[in-house]
Amino acid sequence: MSATTHAHREQSRPLWSTAAAALPQALAKLDPRHAVHTPVIFVVWVSAVVTTVLAVVHPSVFSVSVALWLWATIVFANLAEAVAEGRGKAQADSLRKAKVEARARRLRADGSEEEVPGAELAIGDLVVVEAGQVIPGDGDVVEGVATVDESAITGESAPVIRESGGDRCAVTGGTTVLSDRIVVKITTKPGESFIDRMISLVEGAARQKTPNEIALDILLTTLTLIFLLAVSAIAPIAAWSGARPSLIVLVALLVCLIPTTIGALLSAIGIAGMDRLVQRNVLAMSGRAVEAAGDVSTLLLDKTGTITFGNRRASEFLPVAGVSVEELTEATYLSSLADETPEGRSIIDLALESLPAGAVRSSEDLAREGAVVVPFTAQTRMSGVDLPDGTEVRKGAGGAVAAWVKDNGGREESEPVVLADGIAAAGGTPLTVAVRRPGQPPVELGVVHLKDVVKPGMAERFAQLRAMGIRTVMITGDNPLTARAIAEEAGVDDFLAEATPEDKLALIRKEQEGGRLVAMTGDGTNDAPALAQADVGVAMNTGTSAAKEAGNMVDLDSDPTKLIDVVGIGKQLLITRGALTTFSIANDVAKYFAIIPAMFVTVFPGLDRLNVMRLASPESAMLSAVIFNALIIVALIPLSLKGVAYRPLNASQLLRRNLLVYGVGGVVAPFIGIKLIDLVVSHLPGLA
């Protein structure tokens, strides 16, 4: 079972079940050595210790209740982090089961083999792996070609091709060779393989706080100090006014006013963000990469396989004067029946859309009728079919077909050349079709337009990115004319034609000079410098080891279009963090105005006008606020794990929506919640 498959199972489990499983870990995190890493929660921990001591020294329903709920607040904060970590640990356990300690057939200098444990392999060792054997370590194929089962990592059951000398040479330790024989050059040390790094990352052991998290920690710590000073000032002011609030009341007030909600959920939000990437088969090497994806303002996308399908596809049949489209379509269809290339299959698909049922035949039908297939060769640059009645059909490069027509007594025509030139000028590839009927000279029927077809929906996706303020740049090795045609059809903002590795690197640096963050994908060794330079470099799992080492993310599915999803996940992470921070601070402000009037209404009767909730007593008000402070963390755990729903809006629209939903909601929620809780706790003995 792959890590991502296990991740989906974890996601489908009810949250209460996941929380129950994580509760022991949450209790273990009550250790002060863990709490000290989160300043806000550490203040709550100290407050819980102080109130516990006071409850023992001066026991009462109020003091004991406050102490218990403060400990519950810490447990709930730990629970959010434990649930998020639990999902990652489940994925890590699945990966450990997939990890196989294999024996390796290491090649000696003289070409002979020796069998050694996989753990003894060193960087640079050459090992032989044949069908049915497990690849003992990460490396690159340096000899041979084979099909490999990578389902333990990617979850994809279909085998993949790995071969030497290209961008699909990287293999992962623990995967299985299904056919043929390859020689692999080991590129990692034992214990540092791709699976080992995946295990470490998904279970959170390698996760470090990102710059935004550190900045937010500083903000929360500052707010905590401000509220600590504010609460400290209340005691002398109250004493001067004739009221003497107890220490336990002041401690409880401090906990209610500091930003405990976001402090409790901050770590869970970050872990859940990386978890969402893993669910999409993308492995982030650091939380910084996920966060950077949310701030990306320029996307560099390869044309082939990302914006377009990669394989040229037939888009149009263009007959010469005097030839019907139906005649050209049928001739092209017959000449392509034995063509197994992607282009040939696309010609068949296009022809079948308009051919009448009686004209549709299969290659088996032609063989039974006695037709002879003429395969494509590099020398002839043509393919076709010779039918039983003597009719010969040819399809291929314009010059080759024209030469065949001339050699067999036909005339050169200018119209096919004009049609072909027009297709080439538009960035397409022309194929000429000709036919020779019995007793007649061959004639050219027309031209097939092959084009690198833009994937459906790409223009809409780029429009969404544009609405988010993200600039898209298409990178291609095509000439500028072809690149411009594809760029206009796809709807990208700019393009880089005839791009070399140096051109990519220069473009990224130019974009970054303006303070923009850049994301790109790549799979080859020549992409490694650009992947390393980009703020978000997504390397394809099928690519070379150099590419995967250079990038800070690896796409296990090797789907270049997933870069757009990665940006969306990064933005969702930032939006979730911002939304819950807004809600938490708004909560604190609302609680201040909800609690203080109830606490001092007996001393300052004028505050009764602000006591809009009409809480039963100062003790009931304080305990209700402490309980609400704990329960709101539990209520927000699902949102912190799932993430705030992301919509492609610009920054000002997002800010407006954030303030309206989570700012106003954060102000209103405490008034409603504390009042409802007060209706219950006010009936407890000693709190009426």
**Which has the closest alpha carbon to 81: 34, 36, 39?**
34
**Which has the closest alpha carbon to 570: 301, 300, 306, 286?**
286
Structure-token pair, residue 572: 């969702």
* Alpha-carbon torsion (506, 507, 510, 515), positive or negative: negative
**Which has the closest alpha carbon to 155: 15, 279, 295, 247?**
279
DSSP H or E stretch at residue 278:
helix 260-279
383 known member of a binding site: yes
400 known member of a binding site: no
Query: Distance (Å, rounded) from C-alpha 670 to C-alpha 593?
Result: 10
572 touches 273 (CB < 8 A): yes
Query: Distance (Å, rounded) from C-alpha 185 to C-alpha 139?
Result: 5
Give the residue carrying structure tokens 């990287």: 170
- Which distant-in-sequence residues (6+ apart) come within 8 Å of 225 by Cβ? none
| Catalytic-role residue among 302, 478, 559, 588 | 302
DSSP H or E stretch at residue 373:
strand 372-374
**Which has the closest alpha carbon to 66: 80, 83, 47?**
47
343 known member of a binding site: yes
557 known member of a binding site: no
523 known member of a binding site: yes
565 known member of a binding site: no
627 touches 445 (CB < 8 A): no
- Which distant-in-sequence residues (6+ apart) come within 8 Å of 441 by Cβ? 405, 408, 409, 410, 411
25 known member of a binding site: no
167 known member of a binding site: no
Query: Distance (Å, rounded) from C-alpha 222 to C-alpha 9?
Result: 40
CA separation (Å) from 158 to 136, 147, 152, 298?
21, 10, 11, 34
Q: Active-site residue 125, yes or no?
A: no
381 known member of a binding site: yes
509 known member of a binding site: no
Q: Residue 52, class by beta-carbon neighbours within 10 Å (0-12 exposed, 13-18 middle, 19+ buried)?
A: middle
Residue 26 corresponds to which amino acid?
A
378 known member of a binding site: yes
The set of catalytic residues is: 302
Known binding residues: 339, 343, 376-383, 395, 523, 527
Known binding residues for ATP: 339, 343, 376-383, 395
Known binding residues for Mg(2+): 523, 527
